[in-house]
Amino acid sequence: MARMLCHPVEPAGRAAVPKKSSTLRICLVGLIAGSLLVAGTYWFLNGKLRARAEARANAVVAEHVAVSHAHMLQQNWELAIEELQRATALKDATDLAEVQELLTLARQRRAAAILTAVEASLGRTPASNSFSLLDAYLADSDALEKERATEIRAELELASSDEHAIALLGQLPDDALVWFAGTGRLAELDRLRHPAIRPLYHQRLQAHLRAEQERRSELRLQEEATRLAQQGRREEALAKRAVRIRGTPVFREVVEFAERTRRQVPKSTASADEAKLRRIVVRILKITDPKQEQRLFEDPSNRPEAQRRLEAQISRMRASAKERFRGAAYYEFDAADREAFDWAVDRELDQLAAELKPR
């Protein structure tokens, strides 16, 4: 019958041509409709299969998310990240928006845990361990506090450096070093922002404090020895030059003034017998006030007013002698001679003042 439909028996003649064209059109429409029906059936069945695959994949994703939640509650970030990565790798899975958010969060929390571990380990573990953790944190693309981690690393490097501690102590003024040795406080310590690093820096500085103090003490001894040697050489040169100066009239006046003053002013020191006699008198008179005892045995020449007059006389003689030596009467002496003259006069009168000073 199909053969009859597609190939009908046509009568001869022109009347059979239109009938053949209609039949072809009917066949073509039938083929198109059949193809559409087959394609629609395929897409319908394939969509159902794809939907079932997606549903199964999304169910597995949900299981991975639930497991990752449990790991995150226990702060097992590595295990949580592994579960979420498995979920994102599932074929046909579509519910991945929450997975991506959780994966980003877990990675950030993992990085934050490294920084927390660093801060907890400061001062408790070797600094090398802290440096390793900090480097790992700074290399992590999910780390959110890299600026803070960089600051902690810089401060820890400062507090762990022997070279820096030695250099800092060496640059401190003497009063600042004494203050640090006595109080443990230093402005450089207060500049560190992390409270756990300040004690480390303090310990590092304290470890080198004694060596710095000894270095400065040795340096002061060397400087004093150099100063005394220079002073000795200077005084030796002045003494040689002062030999001919001592014969000048003005210097002889200074010497005579000193000898005359020594004769006029009694010495303030008491002999052993005088001291014993004083103790007997104090015991007899029952004197207990030290000031009253001092007034009882005080020599009028040792009283403040007499002492001030004596010092004024010495001062006037000193100034007068130096001024006269620079006058026209001593034109043949040069600047070096004048320096030697001043030194000799000061030495003579300073010795006089020391001898007559009350004790």
- Measure the CA–CA gap between 163 and 54, rounded to whole angstroms: 64
Amino acid, res. 335: A
What are the tokens at 105? 């969060």
CA 351 to chain centre: 53
Query: What pTM, to 2 d.p., does this model score?
Result: 0.57
Residue 292 has a CB neighbour count (10 Å cut-off) of: 11
Give residue-wise pLDDT tens across range 57-88: 788 888 888 888 888 888 888 888 888 888 78
Q: How confident is the model at residue 3 (pLDDT cuts 50, 70, 90)?
A: very low
> 37-46, 81-90, 106-115: which has the minimum mean pLDDT?
37-46
Separate counts of helices (H) and strands (E) for the chain = 15, 0
Domain positions in the chain are: 34-160, 161-242, 246-356
Tell me what percent of the residues of the chain surpass a pLDDT of 90: 35
Q: Is the pLDDT of residue 213 over 90?
A: yes
Residue 33 has a CB neighbour count (10 Å cut-off) of: 10
123 neighbors 138 (Cβ within 8 angstroms): no
In the predicted model, what is the mean pLDDT of the chain?
A: 82
Residue 222 has a CB neighbour count (10 Å cut-off) of: 10
Burial class (CB in 10 A: 0-12, 13-18, 19+), 115: buried
Quick one: which of 349, 335, 175 has its CA closest to 261? Answer: 349
pLDDT at 292: 67
Give residue-wise pLDDT tens across range 125-136: 888 888 999 999
- pLDDT higher at 21 or 65: 65
What are the tokens at 195? 């409270």
Give residue-wise pLDDT tens across range 249-306: 999 999 999 999 888 876 554 456 666 766 776 676 667 777 666 666 665 545 577 7
